[in-house]
Amino acid sequence: MSNPTEEDLKVIAEQVWSSYLDLDGASPLVPYPPEKPETDVTASVSVTGAWRGHVLVSCSEPAAKNVAAALLGIDYDDVAEEDVADALGELANIIGGNVKSLLPEPCALSLPHVHVDGSNGRYPSVTEVCHLEGSWMAESVTVTVLESTADLAGAPA
Amino acid sequence: MVIDDSRAMRLILKRIVAQLGFDVVEAGNGQEAMDYLKTNVLEGDGEIPGLALVDWNMPEMNGLEFVTAVRAEPRLRGMTLMMVTTESEQSQIVRALASGAHEYVIKPFTPDAIIDKLALLGLVPNGVAA
Amino acid sequence: MTLTAQEFAFIAGLVRRDAAIVLEAGKEYLVEARLLPLARQSGLPTVSEFVNRAQQRPEPEIHAKIVDALTTNETSFFRDGEPFKQLVDTVLPDLLVRRSGARTIKVWSAASSSGQEPYTLAMVLHDSLPPGWTFDIIGTDISAEMLTRAEAGLYTQLEVNRGLPAPLLVKHFERNGAHWKVASTLRKNVSFRRLNLAAPFPALGPFDIVFIRNVLIYFDVQTKRTVLQRVAGTLRPDGWLFLGSAETTIGIDDRYERVVAGRTSAYKLRAAGRAAPAVSAVGKG
């Protein structure tokens, strides 16, 4: 089984967007990055087992609020921080689970962690496997797959 | 019954099944759902929920543990259990079915997918989905 | 932004000429939605400009793509449910007796689109036929692109979520990257070829079972009649025909009689030599 590719991320993202974020096909995730990817908000899930690493969904704050507004069916202006955490976390869970199905078995998926402070969390000893940079409604959204390089004995707790 | 640790996902599922005429109880994980069943059904006089949509990865008690626990309780035999999860390896689907789940929907899903599966289970008439 | 009457008429004429499908006025939104991806592929911002270019510079390949885009219908595994249940409950018990010599069942899935119907038929026959029996399913479609997709037998997660019971997903499909692939045990009994229902058929059949669902509704009465007549020529005298739930042979072609099967209807050819009665002998089902 080969590592997941940007093409795989595109297929997964397209399905997530058409199911929840772009119901009428008018606002797809366009796989061209905006000038500068923004990472105001990052949701991550960890994969452990036969393969170890992380799947990150990072986006600008407006994009994160758009995700929350779409999933929760509320107005953009009414989106609270906890809404962003819930919605972005679920997005990372869905994308992460689909990425996991491309990896060697058996693997387990962690619950999502969401950072809304602009830090995207710390991932020591990792190497990037692939990433998908896109824009959604003119805002930055990035999906990144990181593989742990530390062997099991030296893995951070 | 809609069991998922994401409020957004509970809402999406709730909207779909509420439209089909189901009354919905929400739970944020398997333990909360079990507690509800214990209090209201096993020790109370509440009705057994006819259907549970169950996420897999949740804190406290995950969906697979919940399905196993429900199947171990003869008084909850009337519950139809449908996993709705991002777990999408063939082996995971086999595991869930072997543990007693009746159906399995992979996230992401469209509303039609949920409705089609409920039709397969005989819970809604055929042809409701577009 | 929206199509002019002239632009819509051009598209409707094209689709009628090549596929005998009638696009009535009021279907402009359908044309817009289905052609937008093609317009984008051609680097044009609107469907209107795309249609204009197709008119001014007729290219057979673009015309074929337009017809494809407008004749491809939504499909899902086990669509409508009941016909597949009746295949098991009504049709197979009959054919198991009638074909006990040859022990093989030949099926045609017409307008098979991306292949969900022929593969559903394959799953049902694979799981229902007794040991020693074989089956052979042919799927046909007007769209070369759909035939390529169907032949590959690759479906997205969203597609396998639609109508396919989970136990059959794990039994008859294998993960293939981000997709699911129909297992080779099923694919080896299913083949595909191009066929325009509105044109004379090549040599085809004879079939024990024909599924031609949700396609007659797009034809005018004369084309419906012609198609049903040609289908009759591919059906064994004791074969079974399934139409879509909104379709019937009644009032169009009286060589068929309706047979009530569970909560749906199937059609059989009237016995040779028996005159067609003025009123169908089978009650309303």
A58-115 residue pLDDT tens: 999 999 999 999 999 999 999 999 999 999 999 999 999 999 999 999 999 999 999 9
Q: Which of C21-35, C126-140, C226-240 shows the lowest per-residue confidence on average (mean pLDDT)?
A: C21-35
- Which tokens sit at B107? 């996230």
Listed by number, the residues of chain A in 83-142 with a beta carbon closer than 8 Å to a beta carbon of chain B are: 83, 86-87, 89-90, 93-94, 96-98, 100-101, 105-106, 109-111
Contact B120 C158 (CB under 8 A): no
Measured between beta carbons, the chain A residues lying within 8 angstroms of C174 are: none
Q: Check residue A78 and report its DSSP letter.
A: G
| Position C155 pLDDT exceeds 90 | yes
Instruction: Number of B to C CB contacts under 8 A, please give it.
Output: 53
Which of A11, A94, A98 best tests the C interface by mutation, with the highest count of C CBs <10 A? A11
Contact C162 B119 (CB under 8 A): no
Q: Are C174 and C185 in contact (CB under 8 A)?
A: no
Q: What is the pLDDT of residue C256?
A: 96
Q: What is the pLDDT of residue C60?
A: 81
Listed by number, the residues of chain B in 18-77 with a beta carbon closer than 8 Å to a beta carbon of chain A are: 57-59
Q: How far is CA C248 from CA C197, C225, C231, in A?
A: 17, 11, 14
Q: Are A40 and A118 in contact (CB under 8 A)?
A: yes
Contact A90 B108 (CB under 8 A): no
Measured between beta carbons, the chain C residues lying within 8 angstroms of A8 are: 177-178
C179 touches chain A (CB under 8 A): yes
A30 band by pLDDT with thresholds 50, 70 and 90: confident
Q: What is the pLDDT of residue A157?
A: 43
Query: C145, C175, C146: which is closest to C160 by C-alpha?
Result: C175
Percent of chain C scoring above 70 in pLDDT: 94
Q: What is the pLDDT of residue C284?
A: 39
Q: What is the pLDDT of residue B130?
A: 42
Question: Which residues 6+ apart lie within 8 Å of B82 measured at CB?
Answer: B51, B52, B53, B54, B101, B102, B103, B104, B105, B117, B118, B121
Higher pLDDT, C139 or C65: C139
Buried b / exposed e over B42-52, threshold 16 CB at 10 Å, is eeeeeeebebb
> What are the CB-based long-range contacts (under 8 Å, 24+) for A21-28?
A21/A66, A21/A67, A21/A70, A21/A71, A21/A136, A25/C33, A27/A136, A27/A137, A28/A136
Which amino acid makes up residue A42?
T
C283 band by pLDDT with thresholds 50, 70 and 90: very low
CA-angle at C177, arms to C173 and C178, nearest 5°: 85
A152 band by pLDDT with thresholds 50, 70 and 90: low
Q: What is the pLDDT of residue A144?
A: 95
| Position C279 pLDDT exceeds 60 | no
Which regions in chain B score pLDDT beneath 70?
Answer: 126-130
Which amino acid makes up residue C142?
I
How many beta carbons lie within 10 A of that of residue C38, not counting itself? 18
| Position C72 pLDDT exceeds 90 | no
Q: Are A22 and A78 in contact (CB under 8 A)?
A: no
Q: Output phi, psi for A156, to 5 deg.
A: -65, 150
Q: What is the pLDDT of residue B104?
A: 98
Contact C179 A18 (CB under 8 A): no
C57 band by pLDDT with thresholds 50, 70 and 90: confident
C278 band by pLDDT with thresholds 50, 70 and 90: very low
Question: Which residues 6+ apart lie within 8 Å of A157 measured at CB?
Answer: none
Longest dimension (CA), chain B: 41
Q: Chains touching chain C at 3 or more Cβ pairs under 8 angstroms?
A: A, B
Task: State pLDDT tens for residues C233-244.
Answer: 999 999 999 998
Q: What is the pLDDT of residue A1?
A: 57
- Which tokens sit at C134? 């074989």
Task: State pLDDT tens for residues C214-262.
Answer: 888 888 899 999 999 999 999 999 999 999 888 899 999 999 999 999 9
Which of B67, B91, B120 best tests the C interface by mutation, with the highest count of C CBs <10 A? B120
Q: What is the pLDDT of residue A32?
A: 78
Which of A90, A91, A99 best tests the B interface by mutation, with the highest count of B CBs <10 A? A90
d(CA C199, CA C230): 10
H or E element that contains B82: strand B80-85
Q: What is the pLDDT of residue C63?
A: 85
Question: Which residues 6+ apart lie within 8 Å of A151 measured at CB?
Answer: none
Q: Give the pairing type, strands C179-182 and C173-176.
A: antiparallel
Task: State pLDDT tens for residues A107-142.
Answer: 999 999 999 877 767 788 899 999 999 989 889 999
**Helix ranges (DSSP H) in A1-155:** 6-16, 61-72, 81-100
Q: What is the pLDDT of residue A151?
A: 63
| Position C91 pLDDT exceeds 60 | yes
Question: Which residues 6+ apart lie within 8 Å of A52 measured at CB?
Answer: A46, A147, A148, A152, A155
Contact C156 A98 (CB under 8 A): no
Measured between beta carbons, the chain B residues lying within 8 angstroms of C76 are: 112, 116
Q: DSSP letters along A88-129, please?
A: HHHHHHHHHHHHHTTSPSSEEEPPPEEE-SS------SEEEE
Q: What is the 3-state secondary structure (H, E, C) of chain C?
A: CCCCHHHHHHHHHHHHHHHCCCCCCCCHHHHHHHHHHHHHHCCCCCHHHHHHHHHHCCCHHHHHHHHHHHHCCCCCCCCCCHHHHHHHHHHHHHHHHHCCCCCEEEEEEECCCCCHHHHHHHHHHHHHCCCCCEEEEEEEECCHHHHHHHHHCEECHHHHHCCCCHHHHHHHEEEECCEEEECHHHHCCEEEEECCCCCCCCCCCCEEEEEECCCHHHCCHHHHHHHHHHHHCCEEEEEEEEECCCCCCCCCCCCEEEEEECCEEEEEECCCCCCCCCCCCCCCC
pTM of the predicted model as reported, rounded to 2 decimal places: 0.86
Please tell me which residue of chain C has the smallest CA distance to A102: C177
Q: Mean of the pLDDT values across residues C84-111?
A: 96
Q: Check residue A19 and report its DSSP letter.
A: I
Q: Give the pairing type, strands C264-269 and C256-261.
A: antiparallel
| Position C103 pLDDT exceeds 50 | yes
Q: Are C116 and C128 in contact (CB under 8 A)?
A: no
Task: State pLDDT tens for residues C170-179.
Answer: 999 999 988 9
d(CA A124, CA A130): 17
